[in-house]
């Protein structure tokens, strides 16, 4: 494996194998499978090693077959290889000559200038075409840029950044609608769907009844069905208490390491659904009376009695405490 072509083929195969494994194994919108599944590197290394071994075998077989040829055949084979190599390099040489337009050494007398400095002579070479065309391209780009952003008022970098940020916020909000585990104590909302309440009940039964009893009436832990709360009521406070735990040293443990945010939201909603159920043997209230400041205020409706008594007095004569009416 002494040819540059073999080395190039190995590099191309290694790149292709990596991209193929990464494309096939990586789910959409997730990190590369090579970062999550380290064992895949072993498979990748085996594939590259097998291809290197294949290239070595091909080169070895070629060398063995070359030695079996007669001297005349070997010379003919080497001449064909040299001709093909010369043909390949001729194309690159021609391309290089077109891109640079340099004069051959034998023709430098035609472009030599008539002055010299301490024996140093200067050649009047033309600028390389790639440089000239590149310069023209920069002028064209500058003109388009000027018209686009200064004359027509196109969006600058700040505008594009603000638009990208606004679009990202919209996409984040849309993603949050389907990613329930992104919820936290600031964004959690009370769940009222029957399936969520049932899921919360199952979580409560498996983890909370030991301290709060089955109906939430309270045992070691406080009563969850009355209007009094030690660390505040409402969905946000209850979510925070379940997630982070109760009072240090004597309160409930933090459940954030055992339950997902969506599960905490479900069990918190189930706990709030127990309000006012009055289970048997409920524990006495603990904490402070909780009043939700965001709850809607119910307006008292005052009804006016439609029965009105109208007394018509034509003439009144008041004497002491007696009212006499004359018709």
Domains of the chain with CATH codes:
4-100 (no CATH), 194-289 (1.10.760.10)
What would the pLDDT profile of 85-123 be if each residue is shown by its tens digit? Answer: 888 778 777 777 777 777 777 777 777 777 777 777 777
Nearest to 261 by CA among 179, 197, 198: 179
- Collapsing DSSP states into helix, strand and coil, what is residue 164? helix
Q: Which residues lie below 8 Å from residue 299, measured CB to CB, with a gap of 6+?
A: none
pLDDT > 70 in the chain, percent:
89
Written as six digits, the tokens of 143 are 């003109």
Count other Cβ atoms within 10 Å, centred on residue 74: 13
Residue showing tokens 């959409």: 28
What would the pLDDT profile of 154-202 be if each residue is shown by its tens digit? Answer: 788 888 899 999 999 998 888 877 777 778 888 888 989 999 999 999 9
The predicted model scores a pTM of 0.43
- Decide: 231 and 244 in contact? Cβ < 8 Å: no
pLDDT score of 99: 77
Q: Which residues lie below 8 Å from residue 254, measured CB to CB, with a gap of 6+?
A: 243, 244, 245
- Collapsing DSSP states into helix, strand and coil, what is residue 288? strand
- Asked whether the predicted pLDDT for residue 69 surpasses 80, the reply is yes
pLDDT score of 198: 93
Q: What single-letter DSSP state applies at residue 253?
A: P
CA atoms of 65 and 53, how far apart (whole Å): 18
Nearest to 180 by CA among 167, 195, 168, 165: 195
Nearest to 35 by CA among 48, 49, 25: 25
For the purposes of burial, counting CB atoms within 10 Å of the CB of 29, is it exposed (0-12), middle (13-18) or buried (19 or more)? Answer: exposed
């Amino acid at each position: 494996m002494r040819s540059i072509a073999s080395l190039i083929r190995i590099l191309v195969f290694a790149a292709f194998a990596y991209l193929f494994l990464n494309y096939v194994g990586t789910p959409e919108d997730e990190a590369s499978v090579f970062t999550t599944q380290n064992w895949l590197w072993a498979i990748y290394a085996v594939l590259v090693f097998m291809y290197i071994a294949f290239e070595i075998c091909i080169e070895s077989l070629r060398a063995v077959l070359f030695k079996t040829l007669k001297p005349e055949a070997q010379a003919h084979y080497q001449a064909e290889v040299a001709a093909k190599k010369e043909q390949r390099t001729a194309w690159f040489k021609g391309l290089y000559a077109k891109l640079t337009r340099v004069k051959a050494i034998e023709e430098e007398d035609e472009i030599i200038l008539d002055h010299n400095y301490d024996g140093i002579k200067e050649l009047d070479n033309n600028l390389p075409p790639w440089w000239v065309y590149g310069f023209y391209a920069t002028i064209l780009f500058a003109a388009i840029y000027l018209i686009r952003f200064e004359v027509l008022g196109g969006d600058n970098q700040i505008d594009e950044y603000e638009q990208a940020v606004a679009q990202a916020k919209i996409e984040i909000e849309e993603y949050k609608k389907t990613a329930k585990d992104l919820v936290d104590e600031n964004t959690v909302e009370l769940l009222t769907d029957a399936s969520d309440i049932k899921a919360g009940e199952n979580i409560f039964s498996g983890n909370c009844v030991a301290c709060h009893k089955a109906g939430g009436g309270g045992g070691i832990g406080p009563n969850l069905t009355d209007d009094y709360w030690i660390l505040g009521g409402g969905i946000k406070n209850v979510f925070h208490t379940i997630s982070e735990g109760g009072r240090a040293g004597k309160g409930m443990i933090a459940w954030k390491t055992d339950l997902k945010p969506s599960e905490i939201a479900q069990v918190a909603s189930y706990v709030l659904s127990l309000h006012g159920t009055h289970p048997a043997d409920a524990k006495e209230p603990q904490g402070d009376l909780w009043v939700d400041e965001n709850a809607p205020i119910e307006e008292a409706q005052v009804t006016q009695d439609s029965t009105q008594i109208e007394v018509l007095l034509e003439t009144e004569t008041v004497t002491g405490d007696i009212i006499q009416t004359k018709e």
